[in-house]
């Protein structure tokens, strides 16, 4: 597509939108779809047609609106009014209230509460606004103009400098400087270079990348294309777990649309740059979130990690230089190009720039997705945006970073959420899961859950992870059963150190973190169960061997 035609398409779509007096947006993310959002869409369209408002009101499905626990959510007239937990029979009532000064009180969702007002949406700026199935709506909000700009105004080196100056760090968990990674791939020698978008997202309680892929797939595609131009790659792959069928469906449709309109393929915008994207489905192996295991999976091999170096930047997919970033990282690229590195670097902290998406779950009132500036405190996230702990219970801890993360106690609620601060507390940012626990939560059970998850998901390639995680699970179960001694607790700590220091890949190396952090902050829960008296087993009950 020529740039003039791109602008014409944007203007035409903007005019189409402006022709309607009212717009009803129904959240069509996975969470709301599980609550019959698809049927709700049909109910609204039927109600609009029955009342003869087809030319005055449009109804469309949009991406995730964030407050998943209140779904399905319906937005009327650009969030002038939000409704929560909307049912099929509510559609005609809402249509009757279009333009009314007073909303329906029983369904009303206050959009002035901190959950909405304290967020800064960069990656999720289009979520809940545009229909992810229509490329025209993405173009209408400026889509693919950043790609055109870099192709005609920037050299590949200039793009990398811009990303470097922005301070963007990888959002997959490790926080590696994005510009440095791009620069390394750019300088690497190879006959073919590749771009991989890691959309595996296997952490329990994490659904950030899924939502971005479902809500704004073209933003991810455009970011990958810009990365391809910057590092000299002509082929990209999006690796998505097959358990994300809606994300896969929308990505496939978006890729076809982008190819049809000339944003992917040969000589994009009549330049010498060509770039194509394919999708590869993962079978749900947690270890395939690790980059070398992910590469092996794309190559058709078993998803096992390999030692590094060489790193994928030098020798990755099929032995060629490969750039791997996660979904959220690529979704940050377009706004950086559009608004400049200085703008992006002005958000966040000195070493952690920009925003981060978190998935709030567990014992929290506002369950869902949030996007906040780096450096916001945990207290603001939990008590204000999250709405606090339900049922009058006291906050006890938050687990960040998935199975590779740790548990942060209430005494550290005022810590700022950035890469360095969380690491100092024995946790990590991870991909962005935040599981809240209240005073009734057992931290041993939390540690056991994540340790058992890591044991089950271990690829088994290296002995420290394969055997060490199993031994740690056994010790945790022994402690929970009240049959452990001080020596068992010392052995558990020793195993944590051994598994962390000797496992092959980052997943094994970080697997002990939930145990280490709970031992650090909640040790009394462990010691209280040492040598605890146990009731006699019931008749016929076999005593555990451990």
pLDDT tens track for 125-168: 999 999 999 999 999 999 999 999 999 999 999 999 999 999 99
pLDDT per position as a tens digit, 441-460: 999 999 999 999 999 999 99
C-alpha 417/C-alpha 458 separation (Å) is: 29
Of 344, 363, 382, the last residue of a domain is 344
DSSP label at residue 377: B
In a domain, 532, yes or no: no
Q: How long is the chain?
A: 546
pLDDT score recorded for residue 544: 45
C-alpha 364/C-alpha 399 separation (Å) is: 13
Q: What is the DSSP string of 177-188?
A: BHHHHHHHHHHS
In a domain, 280, yes or no: yes
Its domain, for residue 407, covers: 355-441
Band of residue 538 on the pLDDT scale cut at 50, 70, 90: low
What order do you get walking across the sheet with 276-282 strand by strand? 276-282, 235-241, 194-199, 322-326
Of 344, 369, 403, the last residue of a domain is 344
Q: Are residues 402 and 449 in the same domain?
A: no
Beta strand pairing call for 81-83 and 74-76: antiparallel
CB 394 within 8 A of CB 381: no
Q: Are residues 240 and 163 in the same domain?
A: yes
pLDDT score recorded for residue 204: 85
pLDDT score recorded for residue 78: 87
> Residue 546: pLDDT above 50?
no
Range 343-351 average pLDDT: 97
Q: Are residues 435 and 456 in the same domain?
A: no
C-alpha 247/C-alpha 401 separation (Å) is: 22
DSSP label at residue 537: P
Here the contacts of 533-536 (C-beta below 8 Å, separation 24 or greater) are 533/482, 534/481, 534/482, 534/483
pLDDT score recorded for residue 438: 97
Give the CA dihedral 378, 383, 389, 393, nearest 10 degrees: 100
Q: Are residues 367 and 380 in the same domain?
A: yes
Point out the least confidently predicted range of 97-106, 226-235, 363-372, 384-393: 97-106
Band of residue 44 on the pLDDT scale cut at 50, 70, 90: very high
Q: Are residues 430 and 461 in the same domain?
A: no
Q: Are residues 295 and 396 in the same domain?
A: no
In a domain, 275, yes or no: yes
In a domain, 387, yes or no: yes
The token pair at 232 is 């000299």
Range 301-329 average pLDDT: 96
> Residue 532: pLDDT above 70?
no
Band of residue 244 on the pLDDT scale cut at 50, 70, 90: very high
pLDDT score recorded for residue 172: 85
> Residue 420: pLDDT above 70?
yes
Count of domains for the chain:
4
CATH of the domain at 44: 3.40.30.10
In a domain, 1, yes or no: no
Q: Are residues 85 and 146 in the same domain?
A: no
> Residue 41: pLDDT above 70?
yes
CB 405 within 8 A of CB 509: no
H or E segment and range at residue 198: strand 194-199
Q: Are residues 151 and 277 in the same domain?
A: yes
Band of residue 545 on the pLDDT scale cut at 50, 70, 90: very low
CB 136 within 8 A of CB 13: yes
CATH of the domain at 340: 3.40.50.11540
Of 314, 344, 374, the last residue of a domain is 344
CA end-to-end span of the chain: 66
In a domain, 534, yes or no: no
pLDDT score recorded for residue 3: 92
Q: How far is CA 268 from CA 32, 149, 224, 510, in A?
A: 36, 12, 14, 42
Q: Are residues 427 and 490 in the same domain?
A: no
In a domain, 4, yes or no: no
Band of residue 478 on the pLDDT scale cut at 50, 70, 90: very high
Strands (E), 430-499: 433-438
Q: Which residues of 24-47 are buried (b: 16+ CB within 10 A; e: fewer)?
A: bbbbbbbbbbebebeebbebbbeb
Query: Residues of the chain with pLDDT > 70: what percent?
Result: 97
In a domain, 540, yes or no: no
Q: Are residues 411 and 278 in the same domain?
A: no
pLDDT score recorded for residue 333: 98
Q: Are residues 247 and 390 in the same domain?
A: no
pTM score: 0.94
Q: What is the DSSP string of 280-345?
A: EEE-S-GGGGSHHHHHHHHTTS-------SSPTTTS-GGGS-EEEEEHHHHHTHHHHHHH-HHHHH
Q: Look-up: residue for tokens 């405190």? A: 377
Q: Higher model confidence: residue 174 or residue 394?
A: 394
Query: Residues of the chain with pLDDT > 90: what percent?
Result: 90
H or E segment and range at residue 115: helix 114-117
Q: Are residues 328 and 375 in the same domain?
A: no
Band of residue 534 on the pLDDT scale cut at 50, 70, 90: low
CATH of the domain at 499: 1.20.1440.230
Work out the widest C-alpha separation in the chain, in whole angstroms: 82
> Residue 507: pLDDT above 90?
no
């Amino acid at each position: 597509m020529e740039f003039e035609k791109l602008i014409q398409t944007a203007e035409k779509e903007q005019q189409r939108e402006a022709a309607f007096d009212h717009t009803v947006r129904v959240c069509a993310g996975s969470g709301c779809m599980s609550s019959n959002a698809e049927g709700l869409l049909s109910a609204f369209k039927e109600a609009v047609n029955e009342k003869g408002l087809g030319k005055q009101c449009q109804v469309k499905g949009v991406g995730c609106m964030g407050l998943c626990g209140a779904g399905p959510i319906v937005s009327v007239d650009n969030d002038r009014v939000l409704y929560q937990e909307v049912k099929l029979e509510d559609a005609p009532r809402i249509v009757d209230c279009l333009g009314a000064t007073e909303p329906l009180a029983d369904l009303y969702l206050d959009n002035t509460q901190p959950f909405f007002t304290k967020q800064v949406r960069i990656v999720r700026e289009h979520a809940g606004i545009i229909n992810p199935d229509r490329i025209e709506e993405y173009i209408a909000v400026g889509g693919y103009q950043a790609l055109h700009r870099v192709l005609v105004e920037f050299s590949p080196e200039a793009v990398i400098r811009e990303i470097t100056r922005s301070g963007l760090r990888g959002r997959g968990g490790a926080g590696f400087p994005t510009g440095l990674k791009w620069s390394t791939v750019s300088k690497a020698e190879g006959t073919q270079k590749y771009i991989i978008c890691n959309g595996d997202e296997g952490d329990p309680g994490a659904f950030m990348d899924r939502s971005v892929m479902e809500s704004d797939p073209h933003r991810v595609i455009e970011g990958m294309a810009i990365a391809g131009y910057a590092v000299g790659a002509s082929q990209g792959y999006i690796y998505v777990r097959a358990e994300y069928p809606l994300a896969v469906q929308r990505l496939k449709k978006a890729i076809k649309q982008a190819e049809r309109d000339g944003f992917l393929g040969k000589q994009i915008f009549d330049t010498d740059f060509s770039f194509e994207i394919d999708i590869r489905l993962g079978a749900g192996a947690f270890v395939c979130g690790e980059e070398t295991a992910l590469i092996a999976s794309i190559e058709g091999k078993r998803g096992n990690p390999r030692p590094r170096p060489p790193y994928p930047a030098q020798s990755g997919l099929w032995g060629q230089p490969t750039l791997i970033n996660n979904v959220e990282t690529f979704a940050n690229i377009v706004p950086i190009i559009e608004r400049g590195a200085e703008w992006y670097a002005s958000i966040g902290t000195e070493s952690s720039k920009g925003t981060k998406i978190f998935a709030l779950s567990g014992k929290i009132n506002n369950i869902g997705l949030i996007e906040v500036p780096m450096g916001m405190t945990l207290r603001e996230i939990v008590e204000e945006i999250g709405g606090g702990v339900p049922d009058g219970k006291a906050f006890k801890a938050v687990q960040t970073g998935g199975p590779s993360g740790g548990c942060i106690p209430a005494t550290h609620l005022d810590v700022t959420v950035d890469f360095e601060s969380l690491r100092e507390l024995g946790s990590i940012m991870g991909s962005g899961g935040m599981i809240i626990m209240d005073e009734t939560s057992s931290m041993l059970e939390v540690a056991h859950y994540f340790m058992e998850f890591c044991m089950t998901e271990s690829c088994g390639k290296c002995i420290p992870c394969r055997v060490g995680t199993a031994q740690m699970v056994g010790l945790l179960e022994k402690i929970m059963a009240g049959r452990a001694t001080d020596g068992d607790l010392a052995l558990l700590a020793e195993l944590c150190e051994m598994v962390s220091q000797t496992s092959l890949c980052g997943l094994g190396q970080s697997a002990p973190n939930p145990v280490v952090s709970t031992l650090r902050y909640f040790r009394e829960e462990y010691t209280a169960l040492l040598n605890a008296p146990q009731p006699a087993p019931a008749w016929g009950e076999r005593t555990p061997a451990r």
